[in-house]
A and B are shown apart, each in its own frame.
Chain A
Amino acid sequence: MAGKGIRKSKDIIVFDCIGYSLVALFGLICFIPFWLVFISSFADETSLLRDGFQLWPQAFSLDAYRWVFENPLRIFIAYRNTIAVTVIGTFLTVFLSVMTGYVLSRPNFPWKNGFSFFFFFTTLFNGGLVPWYILCTQYLQFKNHYYAMILPMMFSVWNMLIAKNFMRSLPYEISESAKVDGAGEMYIFLKLILPISKPLLATLALFSALGFWNDWYNCMLFISDENKQNLQYFLQDMLGSVDALKSMVSSGDLSAVAHQVIPEQSMKMAMTCVVIGPIIFLYPIIQKNFIKGLTIGAVKG
Chain B
Amino acid sequence: MKDFLVKIRKNKVFMLMLMPAVVYVVVFAYLPMSGIVMAFKNFNYAKGIFGSDWCGFDNFKFLMISGKLWTLSRNTILYNLAFILVGMVFEVGFAIIINELTNRYFKKIFQSFMFLPYFISWVVAKAIIQAVFDYDYGLFNSFLSNIHLDRLNLYTDSSPWPYLLVFFRIWKATGYGSIVYMAAVASLNQDMYEAASIDGANVWQKIFKITLPNLAPTMFIMGLLSVGQIFRGDFGMFYQLIGNNGVLLEVGDMLDLFIYRSMASGSNLGMASAAGLYQSVLCFVTIILVNWVVKKNNPDNSLF
B139 contact set on A, CB distance < 8 A: 36, 52-55
Which residues of A279-301 are within 8 A (CB) of B? Answer: 279-280, 283, 286-287, 290-291, 294-295, 298-301
Q: What number of A residues sit within 8 Å (CB to CB) of B?
A: 101
B120 contact set on A, CB distance < 8 A: 214, 276, 279
What's the dominant secondary structure at chain B's contact region? helix
B126 contact set on A, CB distance < 8 A: 236, 239
Say yes or no: B102 contacts A301, CB within 8 Å: no
A256 lies within 8 A of chain B by Cβ: no
A129 CB to nearest B CB, Å: 5
Pick from B18, B30, B123, B259: contact of A236, CB below 8 A: B123
* With known contacts A135-B31, A138-B45, A272-B124, A96–B280 Cβ distance under 8 A: no
A170 lies within 8 A of chain B by Cβ: no
B187 contact set on A, CB distance < 8 A: 295
Q: Across the interface, name the chain A residue whose C-beta is closest to B137.
A: A52
* Assembled-state Cα–Cα distance A28/B116 (Å): 11
B112 lies within 8 A of chain A by Cβ: yes
B292 lies within 8 A of chain A by Cβ: no
Which residues of B9-40 are within 8 A (CB) of A? Answer: 11, 13-14, 17-18, 20-22, 24-25, 27-36, 38
Which residues of A14-44 are within 8 A (CB) of B? Answer: 15-16, 18-20, 22-24, 26-31, 33-34, 36-37, 40
* With known contacts A37-B131, A283-B119, A130–B35 Cβ distance under 8 A: yes
B87 lies within 8 A of chain A by Cβ: no
Nearest first, the 7 closest Cβ-Cβ pairs linking A and B are: A131-B35, A128-B276, A127-B32, A27-B110, A214-B121, A130-B273, A11-B202
Q: Give A contacts to B, CB under 8 Å.
A: 1-2, 9, 11-12, 15-16, 18-20, 22-24, 26-31, 33-34, 36-37, 40, 48-49, 51-55, 96-97, 99-100, 102-104, 106, 109-111, 115, 118-120, 122-135, 138, 140, 151-152, 154-155, 160, 184-186, 189, 210, 214-217, 232-233, 235-236, 239, 265, 268-269, 271-272, 275-276, 279-280, 283, 286-287, 290-291, 294-295, 298-301
